[in-house]
Structure formats: structure tokens, C-alpha cells
A and B are shown apart, each in its own frame.
Chain A
Amino acid sequence: GQQVMQIPQYQHVQEGEDFTTYCNSSTTLSNIQWYKQRPGGHPVFLIQLVKSGEVKKQKRLTFQFGEAKKNSSLHITATQTTDVGTYFCAGHNFNKFYFGSGTKLNVKP
């Protein structure tokens, strides 16, 4: 069945270092979304990618959707302590969502 794999599971970085999380689907997706969940909070929508090869930026965050629409990445430049949390991708296909397992980011000041 449909699966969305996300790596790494955990990432510890020093403040100012970059961070990347990767999402891979076993099948082609119609779109992919990214969410952030702060510790003790609930997932909050960040962005949606729809087109093959699409790249979107939000300040220090860069989101990419692969050419085959089966993989995606989120890159954070120069992390800050406010970036701490778990980042989830969610692939959308045939009217269903498939959340990745999440990457937990810890940023040391």
C-alpha cells in the first residue's frame, strides 16, 4: 500500500547550522504538504507543493518537490532555537493523506 517514509527520525544541530529532512513516497503523489509540530502542540500547516520540480521558500525554509512527484525535502538555513519541533510531510493521493513519521529537530543554543 501507499507509504510515505521520512528521514532522519531525529536531528540535533547547533544553532546556526543547516537542517534537512527528506520524504519519499512509494507512489506518485498529487501534492505534498509540510507541517510543523512544536513540543506539546499540534501540527500546523507550513506549505503545499503541487507541481513537479516545484521549489518554494519561506524565509529560511526551502521546500522542494521532486520531478517524479515521489519525494520532497525541507531545508532550514541557519537554524534558530525557534525551529525546534517535529516536521511532518503529508503526501496526498486519491483523496487520502499519508503522513510521514516525522523528523524531530533539536537546536542547541
Chain B
Amino acid sequence: GENVEQHPSTLSVQEGDSAVIKCTYSDSASNYFPWYKQELGKRPQLIIDIRSNVGEKKDQRIAVTLNKTAKHFSLHITETQPEDSAVYFCAASIVSGGGADGLTFGKGTHLIIQP
């Protein structure tokens, strides 16, 4: 089955700086890669996602890059703000005509924004 590795486990950055979180996956059949933000006691919230036919996607301060050959994808957050502090999970799944298989998550990155 799929295995997703995520690094680092904890990331502390100064407010206004950029943060980068990296993930690798093992199953070349995976074709969908979402990133979730989870605050304590709350449900995971999708912040950005990318399909395997796209190399990069951006949404305001958040961007994701995908390297299919190397089987890795990264989350980039620019101009970090205190409200960006949370746990971030990367995930991978296979999407077909019938729908999406379940997500395999990385272990998570605790992002801390220092004021």
C-alpha cells in the first residue's frame, strides 16, 4: 500500500517568513495530493491540493509543487501569520472515475509562527 513520509515534524518560523513542508510518497499510482490544516480538537481542513498532471498550484500565500518522477511534493506558505500556526498534513490517494480511494496521510508537521 501507499506510504507517505513528511518532514519536518516541527517547524518554527518568524512571522512574515516562509515555511516549507516536504512529503514523499511510494505508490506511483497515486494521482491526488491534498494538504490539510488541523487546529487542536477540530476537523482537518483542506487548504490546497494538486493532481498528478499539474506541477504547481498557487492560492494566495499558499503553493504546492509536485515532482512525479521523484515522488515528492511540497507545501510553501509565504508571509506567515500567527493564524497559520497549526498541524499540517500531506496526503496521497488514487482518484478514478468512481471516486477517490481513502487518503494516506503523512505524520504531520506542527507549524509554529513566532511573533
A binds B: no
